[in-house]
Structure 1
Amino acid sequence: MQQARASRVGELEFCGIPVRAGWMGMGRRDDPLGHRVLRILIVALCFPAVSCQCRILKCNSEYLAATSGLHVDEESVEFCIALRAYSQCTRKTARACRGDLAYHSAVHGIEDLMSQHNCSKVGPTHPPPRTQPTSLDFMVHSDAPEMCNYEKSLQQKAPHPNYTHCGLFGDPHLRTFTDDFQTCKVRGAWPLIDNDYLFVQVTNVAVVQGSSATATSKLTVIFKNFQNCVDQKVYQAETDDLPAAFIDGSRNGGEKHGANSLTVTEKAAGQYIEIQAKYIGTTIVVRQVGRYLTFAVRMPELIMRSFEDNQGLQLCLKGCPTNERMDWRLVEADGGHLPSQAAVAHPSFMRETATAKCREKLPVDDLYFRSCVFDLLTTGDLNFTLAAYYAFEDVKNLHSNKEKFHIYERTADFPPGNSAPGPPSHQALAAKHLLLIFWLWCYLTCL
C-alpha cells in the first residue's frame, strides 16, 4: 500500500493547491525538499481553511516543532518518529476533519514521506504535550517498588478505583465502556481504544456474500512506552495466528525494571491469550473462535479517559458511527428473516432451530442470547454460538459490576442489539439546544 502511494504519478492537493507528487515522495532519500514543501504549505496555506472543530492546525504545529532543526539525511529515525506522531494526531481528529482539504492533504503527504524514508507505521512516537499531570504521573517519578502496579500505587489515593469493560465479538457486536450494546458493520480497520497508554485496532471482513455482516480477522494492540516500567510493545493476532508473544518475540515489557508488569500468557494454544498490563491496571483477553477473533478488556476509568481530546474515533468509548450500526430486528411472523441491510436468513437455520441452539449455551434471554440467534440466522456458522458464550464469560470475569453482566432490551419494540433510549426529557432537550447555540457561537467566532 505504501509503495503504491509513493509511486503514483500526477499531482497531490495541499490545501487546494496542486503539488507534483514527485516533490513530496519521489525525491532522493537525502533530499529534504519534501519536508520543506510540507512545512511551507502547512504554514502558508492551511491556516485559513480550518474550523474550530478540526484540529489539523494543532497536528501541524506539533510536527513542525518536532522536526525543527533536524537533517533528513542524518536523522531519518527522528523524522520517522515525528511522522508517526503526526499520523496519530491526524487520526484522532479524523471525524471532525472529514471534509477539510488541509487534513486530507496532510494525510497524503505523511504517507508519501513515510514511504520515502522507509518508516514503519508501528513504532515509537513522541508523547503528546500535557498541560496538566495525568493520573499516572505520580507513578513515573516514584521510587517505590510498587510504582509499576496500578492498584498498589493507588491504594492511598483511591482505594477502590472504578473499572470499565469493553468487548467485541461475533458479527460484530460491541459492548462499550458505558455498557451500550450495538451491532455494527464497520468493515475494514477501526480503532477500539486510543488513549495515552494503549492503542487497539481491529480489522473486520465480510462473513457472508451479499451481507453487510462482518467479523474480526485481525487485532493489533500497542502498549505505549511508559517511563521506568515498560518499553513500547506491539501484539498482533490474525485468523489462525494467535501468538503467545509480542511481535518482537518477547513475553514481557522489555528491559526496564517493571517489565513483568506487562505479560502475555497463553491460556489455550491457538485459542485464548491473556495480556496483563499491571502498570495501567488493565487486562485484555483475545480469543479465536472458529475463523474469527473476539476481544475483551478491563480497564480503570482513569486510564480509559486519558486522551488529549475527544475528536478521535474510539469504538469502545463512543460506539460505532450511526451509519455503521445495524438494525437487526428479527421478524417473528416470517420465521425470523432479517432486514435487507443484514441479509436474508441463512438456509441452515430457521428462527426456532437457531433459538434452541443458542439456548443450550445462553439460557438467559438477554442481548448476548439475541446476538447469538442473529449470527446463526445470518451466517449458519455454529462457531458464533461459542463466540457469544465466551464473550459473556469474559464479561463475568472482567466486569466490575455483577448487576450489569446481562444487558436487556430497554423497550419491547426496539430492535435487539441496540440500546434503546427512552423519550428525551425536558432537561435533555434544553441541553441539546444549549449545545447547538454553543457550536453556532464557536463557528461564528471562527469566521
Structure 2
Amino acid sequence: MGPRSIGDCPLLTVRLTFFSLLILFLIIASNFENIAASSCRVELCSIQFRRAIQAQTDLPLEDLSYSRYHYCTVLRSYADCIRATARSCRGDLSYHSIYTLVMQWLDKKNCTIITAKEMPEHPQKQPLKPKLLVPSKCKFRSSHSGPVKFSHCGLFGDPHLRTFYDEFQTCRTLGAWPLIDNPYIAVQVTNKQVSPESKATGTTKVTVLIRDHRPCTKEKTYEAETNSLPKVFVDGTNGTINDATVFIEDKEPGTHVEIHARHMSTHIIIRQIGKYLTFAIKIPEEIARLGEGSEALQMCLKGCPQRELINYGQLVHVAMPVQEAVNICTKWNATDFYFDACVFDLITTGDKSFSKAAGDARRDVYYLNPSFARGKNRTYFLRETIGYSDNGTPENSAPGRPLIQFVIVICLWLSFCKVIV
C-alpha cells in the first residue's frame, strides 16, 4: 500500500498539524521585532566613522580649512551610511539618536558650506631635517643568531596584568610595586583603592628608569601621575626622533605618551584613561627575562604575589548589572582576557572609563607587535564565576532563541504528522 494522502491523515494528526503551525506562527511573530532589530547595522557606521577619524589624526593643524574639509567629508559619509540603514533600523531607538546627533554635528560645523567648496590644497610641508643615524654600537643586537624576539607586558584597569610569558592575572597590589627591574630598565607602578567598598585598585603613578648606558644614553627618569603626563624626562629633556637614542613622543598631550629606547629596541606606551593610568611595553625577550633566577620581584616577569591575586568568584561589591557591562565592553571591541577584565571592572566599580582602558590595552598589543595577539584564549570569569554564558563576541555567540524555537517546532510537527504507511 502506498503512502496515504493528506486527506487520509487521521483527524488527530490534522489537528496536531494545525496546532503546531499556529505555535510556529506565534513564536515567529513574537520574535519578529527582535529579529528586525538585530538586522540594524547602525553600529557598523559608527565603527567606520571612528576608524576614519583615527586615520586622520595627523592632519596639519596649521591649515584649519584643510582639516575641517576632511572632517566634514568623513562626517558626511557617516550620515550617508546611517541613512542607508534606515529601513532596517526604523524601530531602533539608538538609530534615531545617532542620526539626530550626526545631523547636529553637520550643522554645527557648517559642513554643508564647507564641503560645497573645492577641496583646499594641501599645505606645503617644510622639508625634514636630515635624519641623524643612531651609532652602530647603540643598536640592540641579539646575542643569539637570527632576528630579535620580543616580549610584551601590559597593565591596565583594576589592575589586570599580562606578563612576559602571556599569563593573565588580576591583582590587588595596593601601593608601589615593581613591574621590571634589570640592568637596562626599571619600571614601578603605584596603585590606589578605587572606592572604600571595592577591593579594586587603579594605577595612579608610573615611573620609568632608563639606566645609564654610555655612550648611547645617560640615565633618564620619567614620571607619570594622574593628570600629569609630561612630555619630558625629570631632567627636562625629551630627545627627538632624529637625534637621540632615548626620546619621548607626546602622542596626545596630557593623555598619551610613548617612550623609545633604541639602544635596547624598547617601546613603552603610557596612557591616562579616566582617573587611572595604563602601561604597555615591547622589549627584547632576552632583556625581559633578565633576573629570572633571582628572588627580586618583577611582576612583568613573575606575575603578582599569590596573596595579591584577586579571586573573581569573591565579588564583594556589585556596582553594575552583568548584561550592561557586557554590552559596554562589546562596543569597545574588547576580546578574550581583555573582555573579561573589562566586564569585571565595570561590575565591581561601575566606572565606564575602565572599558576604554581594556579596549585601548588590546589595541596597544596589536600596535606594538601583532604577534603579541597570541596567548591564552578566554578566561573562565563569565562562564564559571557568575554563570553568564554569552561571551560578548558575535562570532562566538550561541544561536539565537528564535532559531532554536523554530527548530523545536519543526521537529514536533514532523513527528506528529508522519504519514502512516
Give the equivalent residue in structure 2 for 1:100: none
Shift of 1:415: 5.5
Letter in 1 for 2:366: K
Letter in 2 for 1:227: R
Give the equivalent residue in structure 2 for 1:226: 213
Paired residues in the alignment total 252
1:413 and 1:350 mapped to 2: Cα distance? Answer: 15
CA deviation profile, 1:316-346 (whole Å, cap 9, x unmatched): 00000011000113xxxxxxxxx2xx53201
1:303 and 1:279 mapped to 2: Cα distance? Answer: 12
- 2:366–2:373 contact (8 Å) kept in structure 1: no
Q: CA separation of 1:172/1:158 partners in 2, compared to 1, >3 Å: closer, same or farther? A: same
Q: CA separation of 1:157/1:179 partners in 2, compared to 1, >3 Å: closer, same or farther? A: closer
Match of 1:297 among 273, 281, 293: 281
Unaligned runs of 5+ in 2: 1-133, 387-421
- 1:362–1:368 contact (8 Å) kept in structure 2: no
Pairing 1:153-164 to 2, within 5 Å after superposition: 153-154=141-142, 158-164=145-151
What secondary structure sits across from 1:260 in the alignment? coil
Pairing 1:253-402 to 2, within 5 Å after superposition: 260-307=244-291, 309-329=293-313, 339=314, 342-346=315-319, 349-362=320-333, 364=335, 366-399=336-369, 401=371
- Identity percentage of aligned residues: 41
- 2:346–2:354 contact (8 Å) kept in structure 1: yes
Shift of 1:181: 0.3
Letter in 2 for 1:270: G
CA deviation profile, 1:269-320 (whole Å, cap 9, x unmatched): 1111000001001000000000000000000011112338521010000000
Shift of 1:363: 5.5
Give the equivalent residue in structure 2 for 1:237: 224
Unaligned runs of 5+ in 1: 1-143, 330-338, 417-447
Instruction: Could you list the structure 1 runs, at least 4 aligned residues long, displaced by more than 3 angstroms after superposition.
Output: 156-159, 410-416
Give the equivalent residue in structure 1 for 2:158: 171
1:158 and 1:268 mapped to 2: Cα distance? Answer: 38
Give the equivalent residue in structure 2 for 1:147: 137
Letter in 1 for 2:331: E
- 1:244–1:273 contact (8 Å) kept in structure 2: yes
CA deviation profile, 1:356-400 (whole Å, cap 9, x unmatched): 111111264x11111111111111111000000000011111245
Q: CA separation of 1:353/1:414 partners in 2, compared to 1, >3 Å: closer, same or farther? A: closer
Shift of 1:406: 6.8
Letter in 2 for 1:249: G
1:314 and 1:161 mapped to 2: Cα distance? Answer: 22
- 1:166–1:175 contact (8 Å) kept in structure 2: yes
Q: Which one has a bigger Cα radius of gyration?
A: 2
- 2:340–2:379 contact (8 Å) kept in structure 1: no
- 2:139–2:264 contact (8 Å) kept in structure 1: yes
Higher normalized contact order (CA 8 Å, seq sep 6+, divided by chain length): 2
The answer to whether structure 1 residue 184 and structure 2 residue 171 are counterparts is: yes
What secondary structure sits across from 2:317 in the alignment? coil
Letter in 1 for 2:276: Y
- 2:166–2:376 contact (8 Å) kept in structure 1: no
1:402 and 1:264 mapped to 2: Cα distance? Answer: 23
- 2:231–2:238 contact (8 Å) kept in structure 1: yes
What secondary structure sits across from 1:286 in the alignment? strand
2:331 and 2:370 mapped to 1: Cα distance? Answer: 26
- 1:399–1:405 contact (8 Å) kept in structure 2: no
1:165 and 1:225 mapped to 2: Cα distance? Answer: 23
Give the equivalent residue in structure 1 for 2:236: 249
1:203 and 1:411 mapped to 2: Cα distance? Answer: 26
Shift of 1:192: 0.1
What secondary structure sits across from 1:358 in the alignment? helix
Q: CA separation of 1:406/1:308 partners in 2, compared to 1, >3 Å: closer, same or farther? A: closer
**TM-score (normalizing by structure 1):** 0.53
Letter in 2 for 1:320: C
Give the equivalent residue in structure 2 for 1:133: none
1:164 and 1:395 mapped to 2: Cα distance? Answer: 11
2:218 and 2:151 mapped to 1: Cα distance? Answer: 25
